[in-house]
Chains A and B, each alone.
Chain A
Amino acid sequence: MEREFEVEGGNFLNAGSISTKVKEIVKSVGFSPEAVRKIAICSYEAEVNIVLYAKRGRMKLSVYEDYAVLNIKDEGPGIEDIELAMQEGYSTATPEMRELGFGAGMGLPNIKKNSDIFTIISEPGKGTELRIIIRNEKESM
């Protein structure tokens, strides 16, 4: 199953509404609570990044039996130094963004931590593309 969503940059009030939908979808198809939570967190961090930094973006959720894929592409400023951006605590957020509760430099590291496979491609001036794959691991008892 595939679903595609538009994310509007700068619309802070709606930030996270798509990730709530993404969470509902993977929950409804029977992903484990742990997998659902990981997908929701990755989706939410990526969505907030688009809202904070980009003009607009697209998120595509593809659900398979054993895993889910999130493809996220934005029309944002791109990332100058990806290695630096992946470090916990590194942030280019403005004080305004921080007042909103974000911009602590945890977004991309959080996505990496919660995904099984994570790819990031970015070019300054062109935008950023993320691919996040999360396995639906059956809970071990």
Chain B
Amino acid sequence: MKLEEIRRILEAEVIVGKEAMDKEVYYACGSDLMSDVLAFAKPGALLLTGLTNIQSVRTADIADIKAIVYVRGKQPDEAAVKLAGERGIPLLSTRLRMFEACGRLYVAGMRGIGEVEEKVAANK
């Protein structure tokens, strides 16, 4: 699923990375706990989070997360926006709450990182 489609489904605003909206993302995870993201996220995933500080972007950068969607209408702070620009990580913000945002994406075909693992294991 292209970021542009994610933006449309979530009625989201693009904060950083307008030029990167044709990037593809195949699976997503939702968490406010950055250590959980580091433990479970797969490279190339989309992160949905309510954590708006700079560590959301650092975590994405370290764990090879492709883009971040902030939920509940939250806006990342200035330091987070600056770092995201430097590291080339698109940031979006949606008014939807976490459950609704995840639900909409799931219905549209986005899958969770756990399911990707199962698929890989089944194909082995």
Residues of A within 8 A of B (CB): 12-13, 15-17, 19-20, 23, 33, 37, 40-41, 44-45, 48, 100-102, 104-107, 109-110, 113
Contacts and interface: CB of A to CB of B under 8 A. Distances in A.
Contacts, number: 70
Secondary structure of the B contact surface, majority rule:
helix
Contact of A106 (B38, B55, B79): B38
B9 interface: no
Nearest to B87: A20
A113 B35 CA distance: 12
Contacts of A107: 35
Interface stretch (B12-20, B61-69, B93-101, B111-119): B61-69
Contacts of B53: 12, 100-101
Q: Report, as a range, how many residues of chain B touch the other chain.
A: 20 to 34
A23 B54 contact: no
Contact of B36 (A33, A44, A48, A106): A106
Contacts of A48: 55
A44 B36 CA distance: 13
A45 B58 CA distance: 11
A15 B58 contact: yes
8 contacts: A19-B62, A23-B62, A40-B63, A44-B59, A101-B34, A101-B55, A104-B35, A109-B39
